[in-house]
Each structure stands twice: as structure tokens, then as C-alpha cells.
């Protein structure tokens, strides 16, 4: 059976980009296929240096996933560091990873260009990600477009290992949904924590409203027809959170002229708030039952470990480490 795997870093509050780009597709795939999802707390060590914050964020991600509908009966859901075999495989893979392959990675180049002083972990990050994917014989990896290159690096490393030491690893495929590949933020760029343009899903009502009302628009008058309505950030977000007929109606009104941006943003806020109301309720219930959340993660790690140990044994045997 096809196995789906993905990870998310515990690096801050869940936003619409994370949800529509990664979490929602992952949860939907989890209903049909065998799925492994984990909280990438080792990865977060490359850029977050506060232990309490890591611990808290990890719990927050677990709550977010479960509140958004992850079925803990069907899905193996765990903390990356609970299966430390991944670090051993990282070493093995790193010996086959050309420096040039890592030097070409956009996410590394983007971060250093922003002035982040890079540690070795940040540079080697894609190798840890390759180990995450290969350790579980994953076939499909649902991610946003920014992670595609890392899955390609994983494929390159796996192919090289298989050629050098014999058939060992499954070659994974990235899965990117075009319609949500890049969810725009309040400034129209890709929504991202690092750009400060996010709209949170479980934030405070007032704060979310304020962010939505602050979405950057042009200075055209409400009466003016807008033939480029489909490029409008609020329309693009409305298409994600509102029923199709509602989003189409607003797009047509914006296109024809006569719809003010304030009214459009108000509709976006209302639909956004409404569309996450049951997830919000579920999250409140989970917050008052943290033992359950812990147990889900412990059970997940147990199941993940069994697979990881098998695959690690197989790869050590292939390269003469048995
Ligand atoms: P951020 O850019 O806010 O730090 P992450 O890098 O933690 O987000 O991304 C977690 C997951 O969410 C990844 O799979 C990523 O591809 C996806 N994702 C993040 N932002 C977006 C976006 N704006 N549109 C689509 N997917 C996104
Ligand atoms: N690097 C991914 C991100 O920042 C998170 C991640 C770590 C991941 N390991 C993974 C995603 C394995 C998919 C598969 O979003």
C-alpha cells in the first residue's frame, strides 16, 4: 500500500499557508492511504534556540493537527526526536551527499541571504530531511512548493545509495497541489512566518480581523471595474475558506466594479472565522485533555520506531555496517 509521509517544524503558530499548503492535503491523504506525519523538532534546532519554546511549539503543532482533523487511529503521528534512528541514517546519507547539491538549495541560500549566520545543521538540513523520508519507505511526500527541491535532493541521494550499495531505498515523489502551492500573505507575497505576513488559524478573533483588514490593496476606487480580480489577495484567500459560489460572487462583483475592498475583506474575515469554527472547538477540547495528545504521540512513535528499525537495519547491512 502507498505510504504518505510529511513533517512540519514546530516553529510558530499555524497559518493559512501551512494549513492549505501542507496540513489539509496531508490530512485528506491520511484518510485514504497509510500515512506517517511527524513534528520536525530536530529540524527546528537549526533556527530556534529556546528549549521551552521548542517544547511548547511542539505541543501546539500536535494540537493544531488533531484539531484540524488528523485521525490518530489511522495515522502514525509522532515527534521526530522520539525515533532517533533518523540521526544515524542522516550520517550514512551524508557520506553520499555532494557538497554542491546542498550548496544549490534555495532555502539555505535564501536564509543566508537574509543575514542568518548559518550553522552546519542549517546547511545539512536537507540530508536530515532525506533521512526522514527514506527511513519510512515513503512513496509520496505532500509539501508546499518551497520544499520540492528538498524532496528532489532526497531522490538523488536515494538513487546514489541504491547504485552504490544495491537496491535499498524506495524513491519518493513530492506531491504539490497547484491550487494551494503558494498561498499569498497579507502583503501579496508567499505567506510565511519569516515574512511577517501571516494570518493565523487559531489566533485571537480581534487580531485575525486586524490582519485581514490590513491586507495590502491598490488605490483604485470601489466603482472601477477590476479585470484582474482573480489576482487579488483577498479573493485568492476567499476561494480557500468560502464556498465556491460565495467566492465566485465576490470575484464577479470586484471584476464588474462597485465592490469596495473593505467589504471584501470583511467577507473574508467572516468566512475565515466560520470555516475554522469546528476546529477551534475541537482544539479547546484537546487543550483540556493534554494526556490524550501525549498518548497519541507516544503511540505514534512506537509504530514509527518499528518501521525505522527495520529500514535502518536494511541500510546498514547494505553498506557493510552489520
Ligand atoms: P513558514 O514559511 O511560515 O516558515 P514552514 O516552512 O514551516 O512555513 O512550512 C510548513 C509547511 O507549510 C511546508 O510544507 C510548506 O511548504 C507549507 N507552506 C508554508 N507556507 C506556505 C504557503 N504560503 N503556501 C503553501 N504552502 C506553504
Ligand atoms: N523541511 C520541512 C519544512 O520546513 C519539514 C520537514 C522535515 C519535512 N522533514 C520532512 C517535510 C520530511 C516533508 C518530509 O517545512
Phi then psi dihedrals of residue 223, to 5 deg: -70, -25
Measured in Å, how far apart are the chain's first and last C-alpha atoms?
28
pLDDT tens string 141-178: 998 888 999 999 999 999 999 999 999 999 999 998 88
Is it the case that residue 179 has pLDDT exceeding 80?
A: no
Atom of ligand 1 nearest to the CA of 182: 24
Please list the residue range(s) of the chain that carry CATH number 1.10.240.10: 203-275
pLDDT tens string 47-76: 899 999 999 999 999 999 999 999 999 999
Q: What's the pLDDT score for residue 37?
A: 97
Ligand nearest to the CA of 200: 1
Ligand nearest to the CA of 41: 2
Taking CB atoms and a 6 Å cutoff, what residues make up the pocket around ligand 2?
Answer: 5-9, 40, 43, 129, 132-133, 141, 143, 147, 150
With a CB cutoff of 8 Å and minimum separation 6, the contacts of 111 are 47, 118, 122
Atom of ligand 1 nearest to the CA of 147: 16
> What CA–CA distance (Å, rounded) separates 66 from 45?
23
Atom of ligand 2 nearest to the CA of 43: 7
Kindly give the distance from the C-alpha atom of residue 310 to the centroid of ligand 1, in angstroms, as a whole number: 31
pLDDT tens string 87-98: 999 999 999 999
> What CA–CA distance (Å, rounded) separates 151 from 263?
41
Q: Is 215 helix (H, G, I), strand (E, B) or coil?
A: coil
CATH classification for the domain delimited by 203-275, as one of 1.10.240.10, 3.40.47.10, 1.20.1250.20, 3.40.50.300: 1.10.240.10
CB 62 within 8 A of CB 54: no
> What CA–CA distance (Å, rounded) separates 117 from 143?
26
Kindly give the distance from the C-alpha atom of residue 222 to the centroid of ligand 1, in angstroms, as a whole number: 33
Q: What's the pLDDT score for residue 146?
A: 86
265 counts as catalytic: no
CATH number of 3-182+289-318: 3.40.50.620
Print burial letters for 300-311: b (CB count within 10 Å at least 16), e (below 16): bbeebeebbeeb
Is it the case that residue 181 has pLDDT exceeding 80?
A: no
Kindly give the distance from the C-alpha atom of residue 143 to the centroid of ligand 1, in angstroms, as a whole number: 8
> What CA–CA distance (Å, rounded) separates 155 from 158?
5
Ligand nearest to the CA of 10: 1
CB 75 within 8 A of CB 30: yes
Cα dihedral value 277, 283, 285, 287, nearest 10: -150
**Of the candidates 165, 147, 39, 149, which has an alpha carbon nearest to the alpha carbon of residue 92?**
165
Record the pTM. Answer: 0.92
Write the residue with the smallest CA distance to atom 9 of ligand 2: 129
Ligand nearest to the CA of 25: 1
* Strand ranges (E), the chain: 3-8, 34-39, 75-79, 140-142, 173-175
Q: What's the pLDDT score for residue 68?
A: 97
- Please give the grid coordinates belonging to residue 25: 492535503
> What CA–CA distance (Å, rounded) separates 133 from 141?
8
**Of the candidates 236, 151, 191, which has an alpha carbon nearest to the alpha carbon of residue 13?**
191
Please list the residue range(s) of the chain that carry CATH number 3.40.50.620: 3-182+289-318
Kindly give the distance from the C-alpha atom of residue 80 to the centroid of ligand 2, in angstroms, as a whole number: 11
190 counts as catalytic: yes
CB 180 within 8 A of CB 21: yes
Angle CA 237–242–243, to nearest 5: 135
Taking CB atoms and a 6 Å cutoff, what residues make up the pocket around ligand 1?
Answer: 8-9, 11, 17-18, 21-22, 143-144, 146-147, 180, 182-183, 190-194
Cell 534512528 -> residue:
85
DSSP assignment of 105-117 equals -HHHHHHHHTT--
Atom of ligand 2 nearest to the CA of 146: 15
Q: Is 72 helix (H, G, I), strand (E, B) or coil?
A: coil
Kindly give the distance from the C-alpha atom of residue 188 to the centroid of ligand 1, in angstroms, as a whole number: 15
Q: What's the pLDDT score for residue 217?
A: 97
DSSP summary character for residue 218: -
Query: Ligand 1 pocket: which of 9, 17, 180, 241 to mutate (most atoms <8 Å of CB)?
Result: 17
Mean pLDDT of 19-32: 91
| Sheet order of strands, 140-142 included | 75-79, 34-39, 3-8, 140-142, 173-175
Amino acid at each position: 500500500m502507498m505510504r504518505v509521509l510529511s513533517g512540519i517544524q514546530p516553529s510558530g503558530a499555524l497559518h493559512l499557508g501551512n494549513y492549505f499548503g501542507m496540513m489539509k492535503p496531508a490530512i485528506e491523504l491520511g484518510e485514504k492511504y497509510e500515512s506517517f506525519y511527524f513534528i520536525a523538532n530536530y529540524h527546528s534546532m537549526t533556527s530556534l534556540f529556546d528549549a521551552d519554546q521548542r517544547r511548547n511549539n511542539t505541543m501546539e503543532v500536535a494540537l493544531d493537527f488533531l484539531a484540524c482533523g488528523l485521525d490518530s487511529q489511522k495515522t502514525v503521528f509522532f515527534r521526530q526526536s522520539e525515533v532517533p534512528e533518523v540521526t544515524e541514517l542522516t550520517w550514512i546519507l551524508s557520506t553520499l551527499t555532494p557538497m554542491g547539491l546542498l550548496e544549490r538549495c534555495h532555502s539555505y541560500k535564501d536564509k543566508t541571504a537574509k543575514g542568518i549566520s548559518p550553522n552546519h545543521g542549517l546547511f545539512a538540513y536537507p540530508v536530515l530531511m532525506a533521512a526522514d523520508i527514506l527511513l519510512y519507505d515513503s512513496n509520496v511526500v505532500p509539501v508546499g512548493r518551497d520544499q520540492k527541491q528538498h524532496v528532489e535532493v532526497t531522490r538523488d541521494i536515494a538513487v546514489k545509495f541504491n547504485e552504490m550499495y544495491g537496491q535499498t531505498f524506495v524513491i519518493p515523489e513530492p506531491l504539490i497541489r497547484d491550487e494551494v502551492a503558494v498561498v499569498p500573505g497579507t502583503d501579496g507575497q508567499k505567506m510565511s512566518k519569516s515574512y511577517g505576513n501571516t494570518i493565523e488559524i487559531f489566533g485571537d478573533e480581534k487580531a485575525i480581523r486586524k490582519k485581514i483588514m490590513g491586507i495590502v490593496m491598490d488605490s483604485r476606487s470601489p466603482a472601477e471595474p477590476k479585470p484582474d480580480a482573480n489576482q487579488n489577495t483577498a479573493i485568492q484567500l476567499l476561494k480557500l475558506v468560502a464556498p465556491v459560489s460565495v467566492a465566485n460572487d465576490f470575484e464577479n462583483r470586484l471584476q464588474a466594479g462597485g465592490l469596495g475592498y473593505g467589504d471584501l475583506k470583511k467577507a473574508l474575515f467572516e468566512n475565515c472565522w466560520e470555516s475554522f469554527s469546528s476546529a477551534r472547538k475541537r482544539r479547546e477540547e484537546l487543550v483540556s485533555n493534554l494526556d490524550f495528545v501525549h498518548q497519541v504521540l507516544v503511540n505514534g512513535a512506537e509504530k514509527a520506531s518499528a518501521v525505522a528499525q527495520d529500514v535502518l537495519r536494511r541500510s546498514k547491512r547494505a553498506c557493510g555496517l552489520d
